[in-house]
Amino acid sequence: MKNNWNKIEVKKYIKEYAKKNIGEDLALRIYTTHLLGKNKKLVLHGGGNTSVKSESKDIFQNKQKLLK
């Protein structure tokens, strides 16, 4: 299987999603999801779900563990 990871594209994803107030962890998950989705040998018709464990602060500034 060919490795399609592209460091330049990764940096673009992080930069573009940062403009939307989306952190690096979720931007990377979106990138990997797009990579998987492009490979018809790995994806069934109808797609699937991907997620990432992360942390964020709530309205009281307390860290909360999240599954995005």
- SS3 sequence of 32-62: HHHHHHHCCCCCCCCCCCCCCEEEEECCCCC
Q: Is residue 10 a contact partner of residue 31, using CB atoms and an 8 Å limit?
A: yes
Q: What is the pLDDT of residue 14?
A: 98
In sequence order, the 6+-apart residues with CB closer than 8 A to the CB of 63 are: 55, 56, 57
The pTM score is: 0.74
Residue 22: band (very low, low, confident or very high) from pLDDT cuts 50, 70, 90: very high
Q: What is the pLDDT of residue 56?
A: 86
